[in-house]
Structure 1
Amino acid sequence: MSDETTPVLVGGGQFTWRGDPAASPSPTQLLKFAAERAASDAGLEPSVLAGIDGLAVISFAVDAPGERRLMPHSTNPPATLARRLGASPDWSVYTRTGGNSSQYAINVSAQRIAEGRNQQILVVGAEFMGSGVKRLTRGLGFADWDDAEDLPPPEWIGDGRPGVSAYEAVHGMDRPINIYPLFENALRARDGRSIPDHQKHLGELFAPFTRVAAGNPEAWFPTERSAEELITVTPGNRMIGFPYPKFLNAIMDVDQSAGVLITSLARARELGVGEDRMVFLHGCADANDIWNPIERQDFHSSPAMRLTGEQALDMAGISVAEVAAFDLYSCFPSAVQVGAESLGLSLEDPRGFTVTGGLPYAGGPGNNYAMHGVVVMMQRLRASPGAFGFCTANGWYLTKQSTGVYSTRPPSRPFERQDPAVLQARIDSLPRPTVIERPSGRGRVETYTVIHDREGFRMGVIVGRDDADRRFAAILPGTETAALASLETEEGVGRTGTVSRFDDDRRNLFTLD
């Protein structure tokens, strides 16, 4: 192991804007604030950022596939940020869409340093939909955002495939608030809980997250809430996608940024970084589950979560029992439950599952939440020298998984990131159900959700099996109010009905018995 090639996180910074949206920082300013705070956290002057030879910017949520560019910003965020920092990095990249992106970019950056290709890399991201949406809806304009540069496209890293197939999308499986409830209802049915008991379970699971957020100075909603408050449907906590009221959903409209500065150990010492600031990445892993949810073995597990967790711990040379703190990706309760189960953790584990408060309360959603988790984990580990922290990051729909194991303890072995293709081959070889896109006849519900808008029922989403055990997707129209209401009061998984075509032959219709 060489000081020249041992990667180390020397600084981490966060920024949260809560002021007037008309005066909100531009996307590049948000990135720059977090970068400067990361340098300061390392005990360095902001001018050190001009010396980075690598830059990875986490892609903005508004740059997701299919999104229209309604909020002006640079067409090459890494290039614009580098210019503002006075830097000329040899390696400059923009990640593909996915909540895994922060940890993935850290893993890739650490590998580049370990291979001697870089010495000093900034990894940083931001989300600005909080003020951006308000500027749009209130007609405030963007004249003061000076970073809307029209530049050649950036170099991308990561998997850029759309999150779902056209077949899934046309049946409502096209956004997180519609898909994660499918996982949740499958978990409830598997575990045999009644709907009231499971709602209580969800409140009890996430109430501790709000308690952590209340003590986090950078949290978007630093408010502790009771379990009952989280699950009680009110005008301020309306149902979004059953069984999740608003308070159990990640919050998208925030203005937050976070970033880390990663160097070789030799460069850190050359810069004069104190040993007490150094946090090492001991283990990491990256893999995707079977890409389209409709093709997975079930809706209540994640082989990629399990395997990336095992690989990261193995690389670090520790067991999960030796981890002192966790930050599990927490966009919705189902992600936390599947993540904990993948690691063999009880949901009552006294170590808890978040150091920030999680996506619904700490904020930082879109693609950059996990960076906030890493920054806070660095703070936690510096306060407990030698302890280990475990961070997970999840992209799309329990699809893209990235994991990191951290400690202030210097590693006892060289950093060697396993080629993600090794785990990917294992996952891609898993058996998967037959999917039929145009089913007809009898069927049973495998999982489901009921989607609401502000006026009431919008539609039901059904994943079912036909008499040949082939999987299909279907909908219940919002006009079927009695059927939709029944799915929120009595268990829908296992119920039977008839599937047919409607809607000008575009979609499948499921009619409950």
Structure 2
Amino acid sequence: MTQTTAPVVAGIGTVPNGTHSVPERDLALTVIRDALEDAAVELPAVDGLYMPAPRPWTRQGFFSTHLLSRLGLPVDRSLEVSTGGTSGGHAFHAAISDIRDGSVETALVLAVERNSTIDTTGPYFDYVLKLFDAEFESPIGMTIPAAYAQSMQRYCHEHGVDREDIAEVVVKNRANGVANPEALFDDELTRGAVLEARPVADPIRLFDCPAPCDGAAAILLTADDIAASDSSPVAVAGTGYHHEASQFITNHGSPITELPAVGRAADQAVDAAGISVADIDAFEPYAPFPHIEAIVAEELGLAERGGGVDACLEGRTAPDGEFPMSPSGGCLGRGHPAMVTPLLNYVAAVRQLRGTAPTQVPDAERVLTTAEHGHVNGATATVFATEV
């Protein structure tokens, strides 16, 4: 891939995951302000705005236009993306593409979500049902945990994985999240607590599920020749994307225990960065359920098929392990405002490379992140590096 300009992360802004009483607009304005301050860039320098389309229950429609009006900001590019959990990844990649081809010089990518305003047993469930096949799956009351429960069952069956061992992925990520002051939780979990929690969709239990919450994040990207001076700038070294011919667990040819979209997207990203997966120092995957993190490790070639859980048990995915996975806590330990999660992964990567992460991987120079939707049938991958 030919890259004429290497985009640089100039600034980041976040709010803690949790419950926020202010409108989404105010959360967005907060993280925008913080990203601009972090970059020492004035608002008029921004000439591109990119974001996931807010959830249907967001009170303010036409959100990006409303936000630009509030900011009094004219831009050359403005984009709202709606592709489920990959929305933030696609918005970010669109900004990267526009910077590379010179369409914009300073791009603001943001995401905001408030799940505390919606009843998860009513309108939220109606929204979820529409994600599945309307003719065959929605009428039976299919849910997202139910889809992932089927792949967890099959994963354990095919590879002889002990269901109880999968709980250790939750334990690890919850511990990582507790160390993160912006994460949702402040208490760790034991294997017993994970396995004894109330069932959600057999064999998935409560703590195997990502906790929906409110959140917001913003990232300011600039062309490399106008980036604010920094002794260790963080560059976006490579991007990738792939979508399988499938929807949730309705696959064509590939088993539900494999996630080829992740592997192919990551291959594209590391190839664009001119490196290999072996050169990555830390990983921040979009893994909403514990066996998904294990399968992601397998897709990346970090563990053999069925060996992703063992990698966790052996400490290889710990922050001080061979290939740290989710040192920020990830979806399970950090909380999961789904539209914001991809950007939270990016922020976590930037902090690792700046050396300011709450759980720091020593001497990190390259971080790989992913975003996904629908049982990882579609995935974006992004490589961040201290140099390109």
> Normalising TM by the smaller chain, what interval?
0.7 to 0.9
- Superposed CA RMSD in Å reads 2.4
Which position in structure 2 is the counterpart of 1:32? 29
Which position in structure 1 is the counterpart of 2:274? 317
Larger Rg: 1
Tell me how far apart the structure 2 counterparts of residues 133 and 294 of structure 1 sit (CA, whole Å): 28
Q: What percent identity do the matched residue pairs reach?
A: 24
Which position in structure 2 is the counterpart of 1:251? 211
User: Structure 1 stretches of 5 or more lacking a match?
Assistant: 64-68, 138-161, 412-513
One-letter identity of the residue aligned with 1:296:
H
Query: Shift of residue 168 of structure 1?
Result: 4.0
Tell me how far apart the structure 1 counterparts of residues 45 and 267 of structure 2 sit (CA, whole Å): 36
Which position in structure 1 is the counterpart of 2:238? 283
User: 1:209/1:119 Cα in 2 relative to 1: closer, same or farther (>3 Å)?
Assistant: same
Matches within 5 A, 1:206-217: 206-217=170-181
User: 1:290/1:229 Cα in 2 relative to 1: closer, same or farther (>3 Å)?
Assistant: same
One-letter identity of the residue aligned with 2:83:
T
User: 1:287/1:172 Cα in 2 relative to 1: closer, same or farther (>3 Å)?
Assistant: farther
Tell me how far apart the structure 1 counterparts of residues 186 and 348 of structure 2 sit (CA, whole Å): 15
Which position in structure 2 is the counterpart of 1:480? none
Please tell me whether residue 55 in structure 1 is matched to residue 49 in structure 2: yes
Tell me how far apart the structure 2 counterparts of residues 279 and 51 of structure 1 sit (CA, whole Å): 19
Counterpart selection for 1:332 from 265, 275, 289: 289
> Does the CA contact (< 8 Å) of 1:364 and 1:372 recur in 2?
no
Which position in structure 2 is the counterpart of 1:218? 182
Counterpart selection for 2:67 from 81, 87, 108: 81
Query: Shift of residue 102 of structure 1?
Result: 1.8
Which position in structure 2 is the counterpart of 1:117? 103
Query: Shift of residue 85 of structure 1?
Result: 2.2
Aligned residues between the structures: 357
Query: Shift of residue 302 of structure 1?
Result: 1.6
Query: Shift of residue 396 of structure 1?
Result: 2.1
Tell me how far apart the structure 2 counterparts of residues 3 and 248 of structure 1 sit (CA, whole Å): 40
Report the 3-state secondary structure (helix = DSSP H, G, I; strand = E; otherwise coil) of the residue aligned with 1:82: helix
* Higher RCO (CA-CA < 8 Å; seq separation 6+): 2
Q: TM-score, normalised by structure 2?
A: 0.86
> Does the CA contact (< 8 Å) of 1:172 and 1:178 recur in 2?
no
> Does the CA contact (< 8 Å) of 2:132 and 2:138 recur in 1?
no
Please tell me whether residue 301 in structure 1 is matched to residue 258 in structure 2: yes
Report the 3-state secondary structure (helix = DSSP H, G, I; strand = E; otherwise coil) of the residue aligned with 1:307: helix
Tell me how far apart the structure 1 counterparts of residues 44 and 3 of structure 2 sit (CA, whole Å): 22
Which position in structure 2 is the counterpart of 1:387? 365
User: 1:172/1:278 Cα in 2 relative to 1: closer, same or farther (>3 Å)?
Assistant: farther
Which position in structure 1 is the counterpart of 2:192? 228
After superposition, the C-alpha distances for 1:436-468 in whole angstroms (9 at most, x for unaligned) are xxxxxxxxxxxxxxxxxxxxxxxxxxxxxxxxx
User: 1:338/1:18 Cα in 2 relative to 1: closer, same or farther (>3 Å)?
Assistant: closer
Tell me how far apart the structure 2 counterparts of residues 218 and 17 of structure 1 sit (CA, whole Å): 6
Query: Shift of residue 2 of structure 1?
Result: 12
Which position in structure 1 is the counterpart of 2:358? none
> Does the CA contact (< 8 Å) of 2:18 and 2:215 recur in 1?
no
One-letter identity of the residue aligned with 1:96:
S
Tell me how far apart the structure 1 counterparts of residues 204 and 29 of structure 2 sit (CA, whole Å): 35
Tell me how far apart the structure 1 counterparts of residues 3 and 204 of structure 2 sit (CA, whole Å): 49
Report the 3-state secondary structure (helix = DSSP H, G, I; strand = E; otherwise coil) of the residue aligned with 1:360: helix
Matches within 5 A, 1:43-442: 44=40, 48-60=42-54, 62-63=55-56, 69=57, 71-73=58-60, 75-130=61-116, 132-133=117-118, 163-170=131-138, 172=140, 174-193=142-161, 197-198=162-163, 200-233=164-197, 238-252=198-212, 254-268=213-227, 273-276=228-231, 278-292=233-247, 293-297=249-253, 298-346=255-303, 347=308, 348=311, 349=316, 350=321, 351-383=323-355, 387-409=365-387, 411=388
Tell me how far apart the structure 1 counterparts of residues 260 and 135 of structure 2 sit (CA, whole Å): 23
Query: Shift of residue 185 of structure 1?
Result: 0.9
> Does the CA contact (< 8 Å) of 1:4 and 1:264 recur in 2?
no
Tell me how far apart the structure 2 counterparts of residues 88 and 241 of structure 1 sit (CA, whole Å): 48
Tell me how far apart the structure 1 counterparts of residues 109 and 211 of structure 2 sit (CA, whole Å): 23
Tell me how far apart the structure 2 counterparts of residues 398 and 107 of structure 1 sit (CA, whole Å): 18
> Does the CA contact (< 8 Å) of 1:212 and 1:356 recur in 2?
yes
User: 1:390/1:167 Cα in 2 relative to 1: closer, same or farther (>3 Å)?
Assistant: same
One-letter identity of the residue aligned with 2:379:
Q
User: 1:107/1:368 Cα in 2 relative to 1: closer, same or farther (>3 Å)?
Assistant: same
Q: TM-score, normalised by structure 1?
A: 0.65
Query: Shift of residue 388 of structure 1?
Result: 0.5
> Does the CA contact (< 8 Å) of 2:11 and 2:219 recur in 1?
yes
Report the 3-state secondary structure (helix = DSSP H, G, I; strand = E; otherwise coil) of the residue aligned with 2:22: coil
Report the 3-state secondary structure (helix = DSSP H, G, I; strand = E; otherwise coil) of the residue aligned with 1:210: helix
> Does the CA contact (< 8 Å) of 1:221 and 1:361 recur in 2?
yes
Query: Shift of residue 361 of structure 1?
Result: 2.5
Is the strand fraction higher in 1 or 2? Answer: 1
Report the 3-state secondary structure (helix = DSSP H, G, I; strand = E; otherwise coil) of the residue aligned with 1:201: helix
Report the 3-state secondary structure (helix = DSSP H, G, I; strand = E; otherwise coil) of the residue aligned with 1:186: helix
Report the 3-state secondary structure (helix = DSSP H, G, I; strand = E; otherwise coil) of the residue aligned with 1:166: coil
Query: Shift of residue 277 of structure 1?
Result: 5.9
Tell me how far apart the structure 1 counterparts of residues 257 and 176 of structure 2 sit (CA, whole Å): 26
Report the 3-state secondary structure (helix = DSSP H, G, I; strand = E; otherwise coil) of the residue aligned with 1:371: helix
> Does the CA contact (< 8 Å) of 2:17 and 2:182 recur in 1?
no
One-letter identity of the residue aligned with 2:250:
I
Tell me how far apart the structure 1 counterparts of residues 268 and 200 of structure 2 sit (CA, whole Å): 36
One-letter identity of the residue aligned with 2:377:
T
Query: Shift of residue 310 of structure 1?
Result: 1.2
Query: Shift of residue 4 of structure 1?
Result: 8.0
Tell me how far apart the structure 2 counterparts of residues 77 and 203 of structure 1 sit (CA, whole Å): 39
One-letter identity of the residue aligned with 2:94:
V
Which position in structure 2 is the counterpart of 1:66? none
After superposition, the C-alpha distances for 1:202-260 in whole angstroms (9 at most, x for unaligned) are 11122110111011011011322122211213xxxx111111111110112x1210110
User: 1:191/1:182 Cα in 2 relative to 1: closer, same or farther (>3 Å)?
Assistant: same
Query: Shift of residue 386 of structure 1?
Result: 6.8
User: Structure 2 stretches of 5 or more lacking a match?
Assistant: 123-129, 356-361
One-letter identity of the residue aligned with 1:305:
V
> Does the CA contact (< 8 Å) of 1:124 and 1:257 recur in 2?
yes
User: 1:17/1:307 Cα in 2 relative to 1: closer, same or farther (>3 Å)?
Assistant: closer
> Does the CA contact (< 8 Å) of 1:356 and 1:372 recur in 2?
no
